Amino acid sequence: MNYNILIGGAAGQGINTLSSLLEKILHRKGYYLFSNMDYMSRVRGGHNFVQIRFGDEPITSHHSALDLVIALDQETLDLHQSRLKDTGVIFIDRSLNESKTSDNKQLKTYDFKSVAKELENNRVEGSVTVGAVLKHFGLDLDYVKESCDSIFKKVSIAQLNYTAIEKGMDLAESLLTLNPMPNNQDKILINGNQALALGALAGGLDYYVAYPMSPSTGIMTYLSSKQSEAGIVVEQAEDEIAAINMAIGGAYAGARSMTGTSGGGFSLMVESLGLSGIMEIPLVVVDVQRPGPATGLPTRTEQSDLSFVLTASHGEISRMILSVKSAEDAFYATVRALNIADKYQIPVIILSDQFLADTSQTIDAFNFDNITINRHISKKEDITEGTYKRYEMTENGISPRIIPGKIEGQVILSDSDEHDEYGNITESADVRIKQMNKRMQRLEMLKSVVEEPEHFGSEQPNLLLMGWGSMYGPLQEAVKMLQDDGYKVASLVFGDLYPLPTKLLEKYHDKANTLVNVEQNFTGQLGKLIRQETGIHCQKSILKYDGRQLSGEEIYNRVIKEVL
Amino acid sequence: MTDVKKFDRDVEIAWCPGCGDFSILNALKTALSELDLEPHQVTVVSGIGQAAKMPQYIRTNGFNGLHGRALPPALAIKTVNKDMNVIVNSGDGDSYGEGGNHLLHNIRRNVNIAHFVHDNQIYGLTKGQASPTTDENHKTAIQPEGVIVQKFNPIAFAIANGAGFVARSFSGDIKHLTETMKAAIQYNGYAIVDILQPCVSFNKINTFKWYKDRVYALDHTYDPSNKSEALIKADEWGDDIPIGIIYKRQEQPSFTDLIPQLNDAPLIDRKRHPIDAEKFMNDFK
Ligand SMILES: Cc1ncc(C[n+]2csc(CCOP(=O)(O)OP(=O)(O)O)c2C)c(N)n1
Ligand code: SF4
């Protein structure tokens, strides 16, 4: 069982409050949720919507067929009516439906606005609607009080909204009955940005510096809201160049540092990415992708920065690139990125995207017990010959790192210029070769650290679908649908992208006769990377670059039409 | 006073013989030793340029970053380790040209760092192009008809935008320079010192003699706390160029003083445990 609700209207009409309240209640009642946002780059007006899919089993993708549309404006009605299932209904306020379409059986006209007016607060209209939705699905008032308390911080406002929900329930009729769900204390409902930020906190982040850019801003907003409680410092820099240089400076001085942005901001950071490379300073940079180039589609989704981040920086540096596959993965991957950056003293780039950033999903609560924070900082005893050498030649290419000021008499010199073991500038060809070898040697070591892509589906697939990052959930759903139709199909979804893990790729490539890369970009960047690193070709590509995420169902349809 | 020799680094110095940068290096070493600082207690940060080679030539912690980008890492170093003495040493091109935006915002931040700008009124490392402080009509390979744009006035800019400590000094007056540096380092807040420094190779106009003939030191009759007087002084340039602390505001809480999380120990001394973040998960239950 799962249902798909769409709430649409203009920016400023309260879609967010309505949806967060409804989501919280459904979540507390134990249902699995998957909710994603589609919004325009404007503060008021325009057309925006949230889709909430919920059911009694985990859900990994959005879906187009709708069971319920809550239309806060005419545009929502016009745009989404056609997606309604035969059994579906539309809720609208009476004020919107005075003359029109009164014979449409799917249309349910309610007095949301006037009930809110009776309660002397127009802003509770959303909560009245929530009440009607609950009633529609045959749900009771359990957990509604708690949910109001957690969404509305002020007691009187929470109480008012609770009353609004109660009143809203009286408006509608119960057309459905849902399976009751067990208590879900061990589940959370979280979006990609929040999960990533929480992962950073669990991973021992000290210092986060960024410049606002959608859709990455949510990370900074979340971290700022927790900064005093967590004892970290979050700073809004004057621009992205400052942000990354501050993160690098903070890391040099001993803080676990991170910055986050979207593609445009990342473009500005590129010279400095190389700086962290040659300085051997650990750094985590998050790129929450949106469609480019330039300002592109600011609030939409795309996976088109992979090729760019692979070689971003002039010259050559060791780097690691990983993408996050889901909210759950974003949490653990961020912890891992912070540890890897410190261990190998390299920049680690995390690729996320707008879809993931703004998608909330019910997942198992994170397990904090198995997380470790490994700083790999050397102590006085580790300085062997009396004088510390920041760029000491070592067997594995990683020099001991100490913190400036912490060991009496020892100083640390880091440069953007080529340098010798002490950090002194040099133009010696010999030293250049040695330091380059030392820095680049880490790429080899990273190959043993990278995690293989996640395999899903048949062990003996004829058809292998490959994707990365946020294609994870939709691909899982597509594979399930194709398997249900009897196809021998599997997917490999990459989290770690560079260095590229190749074991599973080689294993399944031998079995499958058709390889398809499924990506949110124009040029098939994963396909290119795979070809470059392994010589393996994808025969087909399923690509999308309209700024909207592929759903499981959409991948399924396109595989049937374009591949099989 | 710590031993000034502790700040010597055993490397070959790549500045031209006679360059004003040498005196600035010596003054900095003397200032640090007179302030009783040890090399590990100081971090010298720079961008790129001749002046920016400073961290290479002084034995302290050093961060020799990117062109124009000295301030962001410097303020970050101070933010995460407020016990560190952070000093930026960089050129006029680096500080006022490529790094202009950071200068503006660092004044706003008032981070407790000292910023020493080696102002030779020219780009040295890239061989003599105009810098933001090059005088009008000055001819260079890139400005063959002479500079046609107004010169940037760092002193007036800093005072007008709210910097708490604004000074000018001259590399030819080591004693004055040393004392000014000491005052800047001791000031709790952002302190900028514009240091007139001859470039013997590329600036044939603003030579050692040119500066020597013009600079005069402000004496005790000058009151640096008077902002409108300071702005008038800031505009003095020509036959007479004042050096000294042009403006000094009473100390106010600096950036790190204003962040409650930094009240106790430096950020880098906080012990972190993953489990401490577990409580934040409750919001999502
Ligand atoms: C991004 C970038 N642009 C340009 C340069 C080239 N560059 C190096 S130093 C410099 C100017 C330095 O002038 P200034 O800061 O006045 O220092 P000086 O050499 O005079 O001491 C320039 C343009 C660079 N290194 N990086
Ligand atoms: S070029 Fe000018 S600034 Fe550079 S070292 Fe030579 S004299 Fe000094």
Give the model confidence (pLDDT) of A97-114 as tens digits.
765 555 677 899 999 999
Domains in chain B, ordered, with CATH? Answer: 4-284 (3.40.50.970)
Q: Which of B133, B195, B200 to mutate to test the pocket of ligand 2 (most atoms within 8 A of CB)?
A: B200
Q: Does A408 touch chain B (CB under 8 A)?
A: yes
Tell me whether residue A177 is in a domain.
Answer: no
Choose, out of A278, A359, A414, the residue to mutate when testing the contact with B (most B CBs < 10 Å). Answer: A414
| Inter-CA distances, A236 with A246, A354, B214, Å | 10, 21, 42
Q: Does A188 touch chain B (CB under 8 A)?
A: yes
C-alpha B13 – ligand 1 centre gap (Å): 18
A302 in the same domain as A415: no
Q: How far apart are CA A548 and CA A542, in angstroms?
A: 14
Single-letter residue type at A88? G
CATH number at residue A547: 3.40.50.920
- Binned at pLDDT 50, 70 and 90, residue A386 comes out as confident
Q: For ligand 1, atom 10, which residue shows the shortest CA distance?
A: B49
Per the CB < 8 A criterion, the answer to whether A189 and A360 are in contact is: yes
Q: How far apart are CA A150 and CA A526, in angstroms?
A: 41
A200 in the same domain as A128: no
Residues of chain B positioned with their CB less than 8 A from the CB of A257: 76, 80
Determine, for residues A202 and B274 on separate chains, whether the beta-carbon distance falls below 8 Å: yes
CATH number at residue A275: 3.40.50.970
Residues of chain A positioned with their CB less than 8 A from the CB of B77: 249-250, 252-253, 404
Out of A138, A171, A204, a domain closes at A171
Residues 6 or more apart in contact with residue B263 via CB below 8 angstroms: none
| Over residues A519-540, mean pLDDT | 98
A438 in the same domain as A319: no
Strand ranges, E, within A312-379: 320-323, 347-353, 360-364
Ligand number, closest to the Cα atom of B21: 2
Q: What is the pLDDT of residue A38?
A: 87
CATH number at residue A69: 3.40.920.10
Percent of chain A whose predicted confidence (pLDDT) is above 90: 92
Give the model confidence (pLDDT) of A123-159 as tens digits.
999 999 999 999 999 999 999 999 999 999 999 999 9
A468 in the same domain as A439: no
| Over residues A303-307, mean pLDDT | 98
Surface of A (103-122) touching B: CB under 8 A: none
Surface of A (385-404) touching B: CB under 8 A: 403-404
Determine, for residues A404 and B81 on separate chains, whether the beta-carbon distance falls below 8 Å: yes
Out of A449, A475, A494, a domain closes at A449
Per the CB < 8 A criterion, the answer to whether A280 and A399 are in contact is: yes
A526 in the same domain as A444: no
A232 in the same domain as A87: no
Helix or strand (DSSP H, E) at A327: helix A327-344
A442 in the same domain as A339: no
User: How many H-runs (helices) and E-runs (strands) does chain A carry?
Assistant: 18, 21
A234 in the same domain as A293: yes
Digit-by-digit pLDDT tens for chain B (285 residues) are 999 999 999 999 999 999 999 999 999 999 999 999 999 999 999 999 999 999 999 999 999 999 999 999 999 999 999 999 999 999 999 999 999 999 999 999 999 999 999 999 999 999 999 999 999 999 999 999 999 999 999 999 999 999 999 999 999 999 999 999 999 999 999 999 999 999 999 999 999 999 999 999 999 999 999 999 999 999 999 999 999 999 999 999 999 999 999 999 999 999 999 999 999 999 999
Q: What is the pLDDT of residue A102?
A: 54
In a 13 Å sphere around the CA of A544, the CA atoms on its Cβ side amount to: 17
Single-letter residue type at B215? V
Q: Order of strands across the sheet with B241-248? A: A413-415, B61-64, B42-46, B85-91, B114-119, B191-196, B165-170, B241-248, B215-217
CB B93 less than 6 A from any atom of ligand 2: no
Token pair 């889901």 in the structure block, residue: A326
pTM of the model: 0.97
Given a cut of 90, whether residue A422 has pLDDT beyond it is yes
A203 in the same domain as A277: yes
What total of structural domains would you count in chain A? 4
Q: For ligand 1, atom 12, which residue shows the shortest CA distance?
A: B49
Determine, for residues B41 and A405 on separate chains, whether the beta-carbon distance falls below 8 Å: yes
Out of A331, A364, A397, a domain closes at A364
Per the CB < 8 A criterion, the answer to whether A69 and A84 are in contact is: yes
| Over residues A196-220, mean pLDDT | 98
Mean pLDDT of chain A: 95
Given a cut of 90, whether residue A185 has pLDDT beyond it is no
Helix or strand (DSSP H, E) at A84: strand A84-93
A294 in the same domain as A347: yes
Tell me whether residue A180 is in a domain.
Answer: no
Tell me whether residue A556 is in a domain.
Answer: yes
Give the model confidence (pLDDT) of A540-549 as tens digits.
999 999 999 9
A463 in the same domain as A424: no
Q: What is the pLDDT of residue A100?
A: 59
Enumerate the β-bridge partners of residue A187.
A364
Helix or strand (DSSP H, E) at B72: helix B71-80
Q: Does B217 touch chain A (CB under 8 A)?
A: no
- Where residue B216 falls (left for φ over 0; alpha for ψ -120 to 50; beta otherwise) is beta
Given a cut of 90, whether residue A382 has pLDDT beyond it is no
Q: How far apart are CA A546 and CA B1, in angstroms?
A: 67
Q: What is the pLDDT of residue A427?
A: 95
A223 in the same domain as A155: no
Distance of CA A458 to the CA centre of its chain: 27
| Over residues A416-442, mean pLDDT | 97
Picking from A465, A455, A503, A469, the residue whose alpha carbon sits closest to that of residue A487 is: A465
Residues of chain A positioned with their CB less than 8 A from the CB of B11: 424
Tell me whether residue A372 is in a domain.
Answer: no
Picking from A292, A301, A339, the residue whose alpha carbon sits closest to that of residue A320 is: A339
Q: What is the pLDDT of residue A40?
A: 82
Tell me whether residue A354 is in a domain.
Answer: yes
Q: What is the pLDDT of residue A98?
A: 62
Q: For ligand 1, atom 26, which residue shows the shortest CA distance?
A: B67
Q: How far apart are CA A269 and CA A251, in angstroms?
A: 16
| Over residues A187-207, mean pLDDT | 98
Tell me whether residue A129 is in a domain.
Answer: yes
Report ipTM (2 d.p.).
0.98
Ligand number, closest to the Cα atom of B121: 1
Helix or strand (DSSP H, E) at B32: helix B21-34
Residues of the domain holding A547 = 454-563
Q: What is the pLDDT of residue A103?
A: 64
Give the model confidence (pLDDT) of A443-475 as tens digits.
999 999 999 999 999 999 999 999 999 999 999
Tell me whether residue A371 is in a domain.
Answer: no
Q: Which of B126, B142, B201 to mutate to test the pocket of ligand 1 (most atoms within 8 A of CB)?
A: B126
Tell me whether residue A179 is in a domain.
Answer: no
Q: What is the pLDDT of residue A101?
A: 55
In a 13 Å sphere around the CA of B242, the CA atoms on its Cβ side amount to: 20
Residues of chain B positioned with their CB less than 8 A from the CB of A371: 274
Choose, out of A403, A412, A413, the residue to mutate when testing the contact with B (most B CBs < 10 Å). Answer: A413
